[in-house]
Amino acid sequence: MKRTTPPESPPAPTDRSNKRRASPPSSPESPAKRTRPDLHKKRSDSLPANPLFFYKEPRGTTQIATWNVAGLATCNAEKWKFGFRLYVEAEDPHILAITEVNEQDADSVFENDPNFEFLRELYPYRYWAYKVAVVSKHKPVAPPIFGFPNGTRYDPEDGRARCLTLEFETCFLVTTYVPNSGAEFKRLDRRQNWAADFETHLRALDAQKPVIWTGDFNVIRTITPESNETNDLQWPQNMGQAAGTHEIERAAHERLLGKQPWLKNPKRPGPLFVDIWRLIHGPDWRQYTHSSRKLGGWRIDGFILSERYLWRVRKCEIRQEVKKKFWPAKGVVKLGALSDHWPVWLSLELEHL
């Protein structure tokens, strides 16, 4: 019988550990190109050469990537040039948070599908639900939390499919695929129920340890909480017209973030959470993590961190080259690129979470 709800306990880690990380550069100022993992030698002849490469970070840092793959199995299919696998091998993050998994039998994909053997070799700790999954080289210190243990409003089964929390020694990692309000905002009540339970969950975690919140937030931010102006939406005429742009959705998101021009002392403890990509790249820079022909570009994926964890942040980038490299030949597939989202990558000044 196929599994339709998340497992009650985490899958047992495999015995294999990954010790294939390339040696660090002699200094952070002159980084070397990331070397290919040894497992490339095991590729079948059908796997193309990897068109991606990224500069590696120095020793003593941790990298996390998040990607809405719009269906895990198809994202790694041959017709999309095995783009998921080639991206993961090139990026080689310590932790990968995957959203919009969309696998009714995720257990079979993560543990048995031969197309994902590379993932099992790279990541001994793997946790998944129907909509979200996290694979990690670092071992969490506690069993995973699916959904909102103290939730009272949002549908518990769907909550377990969309929110996955892992506890590490120094922080919590929360991965979400946030529900939007639907066409013509017909599911706005559902979105409000999610916001109520999620905010309670996130603040309860933050009271214990700093939080790294990642995944697909499914909401557009404005330049200030009071305005309708935004640099996160390519076609601003869609503001207030499409799911993810409703005032109620935006207000719920901004309650967690608030006004942030005061961020001058990154070690200062505080009650708020910080949009890392926007903090680093400034209020005017435009870059998107999702695109559609109907609605244009959106920035709705990324990393939001507890205020007191900012001093750990090194870099945060949107990997837009991934989509360009894996666009199929004309006439091969009608759906376009392997996903309608781009990966987002975070580097932390921290050897282990």
Locus of tokens 């999954």 = 133
Rounded to whole angstroms, the Cα distance separating 86 from 173 reads 24
Determine if residue 254 is labeled as part of a ligand binding site.
Answer: no
**CA–CA separation, 340 and 124 (whole Å):** 28
Active-site entry in 92, 216, 232, 275:
216
Sign of CA dihedral 225, 230, 235, 236: positive
DSSP-based three-state secondary structure for 22 = coil
The strand ranges marked E within 69-118 are: 95-99
CA distance 56 to 275: 23
Inter-residue contact 107 to 3 (CB < 8 Å): yes
Residue 52: CB atoms within 10 Å: 17
Is 87 considered catalytic here?
no
Residue 341: active-site member = yes
Is position 340 annotated in a ligand binding site? Answer: yes
Any alpha helices (H) in the chain, and if so which ranges? 72-75, 83-91, 106-111, 117-122, 156-162, 188-206, 247-257, 276-281, 321-325
Q: Is 100 annotated as a binding residue?
A: yes
68 has binding-site annotation: yes
Q: Which residue in 127, 177, 288, 309 is the catalytic one?
A: 177
216 is catalytic: yes
103 is in an annotated binding site: no
249 is in an annotated binding site: no
275's enclosing H/E stretch is strand 273-275
| Binding site feature residues for Mg(2+) | 68, 100, 216, 218, 340-341
Catalytic residues: 177, 216, 341
